[in-house]
Amino acid sequence: MTGRERIEAAFAPEGTSEVAAVICYEDIFIRDHWRALTDAPWWQQFAPDVDTQLALHRQIAMRTGQDWITLPSCGTRAWRAQAELQVRPEGVFLVERGTGHEQRLEEPPIGGGLIPEGEFANTDTIEEVDALISVPPAFDAERYLEEGQADLARAIQADFGADLYPIARVSSPLWSTYDMWGFGGMMAMIATRPDLVRHACERYLAWAEHWVAHAAVLGARAVWIEECMLDMISPAAFAELNLPFLQRLIEAIRSHGMRSIYYPTGDPGRKWDLLLASGADALALEEGKKGFAIDIAEVVERVGGRCVVLGNLDAVGVLQDGSEQDLRAEICRQLEAGRRNGARFVMSIGSPVTPDTPVERVRLYCDLVHELGRW
């Protein structure tokens, strides 16, 4: 079976006979392991032309051996025709010849976190929220294709990506409010201004649905829904301010013929029923850490075959620091748990690959899953 076939089978009612191997947040993995994944200089990842990008994506995918790929969009054909990279003594620049605009590029720092950084707003009125979160434009799929913004995704799928399962990523509406308020502000607003939080979530949901439409045109088969820190709010707040918007987002994904993979970080704790009530097609969780435990056997017991389960192999204790025997043993344990979920299972890791984990180790993990995950 191809990687695409393995994952498609996991979503089928009867489950899969061969388990797929994936990692989460492959963009972070690529950023932190660029020099080990490709001989190309770091600035080539910003190249405007499709051929360069296609070659990079092909080389990286062949090195890892995992079974899915995050589909990228690209600039319009008109923009690509007049954009170029210029390497100068003073730095690397992305230059638009038509306008003369220049952007100095910086090499992405290794080991950056998942949490977005920036200045946060002190907004406490609906008008201020509306000023910060615009209404998304109507998505015109025909124009998007005509302008060529799906050219790279189409080229990947026509070249080497036909055997890989294509996905896209989006943030849940409530988690998106972090971008505006930051952690402290988000938590304070949830506790004191639920009316304003609901309004912000409506705006962020509209944007999430907009990007879901983009993902469908790119050719994605599933959308990964990221949600961070919301184990820190009460079940009542989760049910009121998160679940309704999450359910609507999942329905939007389904309306485009795609699957949803829900990844809430942190301790599921008292929210198991709420997580399952989301209606997501698949559930992915962190490994046990940060003072809590998430055992894959318990996950499977609670899910009971109602949706696909993704594995949560320990990215540090096992993938990075464990022996090959440790890695093999944990893969076998997770596979056995997945089999009890009616073989509706995809082997994954619970959090991003660390900078200190060699690319060869990731390849070994994928190869072992393919060797051991045949039922």
**pLDDT single digits (tens) 256-293:** 999 999 999 999 989 999 999 999 999 999 998 878 89
Whether the per-residue pLDDT at 126 is higher than 60: the answer is: yes
Reported as a single tens digit per residue, the pLDDT across 4-46 is 999 999 999 999 999 999 999 999 999 999 999 999 999 999 9
Reported as a single tens digit per residue, the pLDDT across 45-95 is 999 999 999 999 999 999 999 999 999 999 999 999 999 999 999 999 999
Q: What is the CATH number of the domain that holds 62?
A: 3.20.20.210
The answer to pTM > 0.85 is yes
Distance separating alpha carbons of residues 205 and 174, to the nearest angstrom = 9
> Pick the residue with more confidence: 121 or 265?
265
Residue 120 in domain? yes
Distance separating alpha carbons of residues 275 and 185, to the nearest angstrom = 24
- Annotate 62-77 with b (16+ C-beta within 10 A) or e (fewer): ebbbbbbbbbebbbee
Residue 286 in domain? yes
Range of the domain at 48: 25-304
- Quick one: average pLDDT of 240-255? 98
Band (pLDDT 50/70/90 cuts) for residue 229 is confident
Residues of the chain with pLDDT > 90, as a percent, come to 93
Residues of the chain with pLDDT > 70, as a percent, come to 98
SS3 340: helix
- Quick one: average pLDDT of 109-122? 68
Q: Contact, 121 vs 131, CB < 8 A? A: no
Distance separating alpha carbons of residues 147 and 198, to the nearest angstrom = 35
Give the model's pLDDT for residue 289.
80
- Quick one: average pLDDT of 104-130? 80
- Quick one: average pLDDT of 302-322? 97
Reported as a single tens digit per residue, the pLDDT across 159-204 is 999 999 999 999 999 999 999 999 999 999 999 999 999 999 999 9
Band (pLDDT 50/70/90 cuts) for residue 98 is confident
Cβ atoms < 10 Å from Cβ of 35: 12
Q: Residues with Cβ < 8 Å from 304, sequence gap 6 or more?
A: 341
Give the model's pLDDT for residue 124.
86
Give the model's pLDDT for residue 371.
98
Give the model's pLDDT for residue 3.
97
Residue 347 in domain? no
Give the model's pLDDT for residue 114.
53
Residue 283 in domain? yes
Residue 281 in domain? yes
Whether the per-residue pLDDT at 116 is higher than 80: the answer is: no
Number of domains in the chain: 1
Distance separating alpha carbons of residues 256 and 269, to the nearest angstrom = 32
Residue 184 in domain? yes
Average pLDDT, the chain: 95
Residue 327 in domain? no
- Maximum Cα–Cα distance for the chain, whole Å? 60
- Worst-scoring range by mean pLDDT, 60-74, 121-135, 216-230, 249-263? 121-135
Give the model's pLDDT for residue 305.
96
Helices 194-218, 243-255: axis angle to 10 degrees equals 20
Residue 15 in domain? no
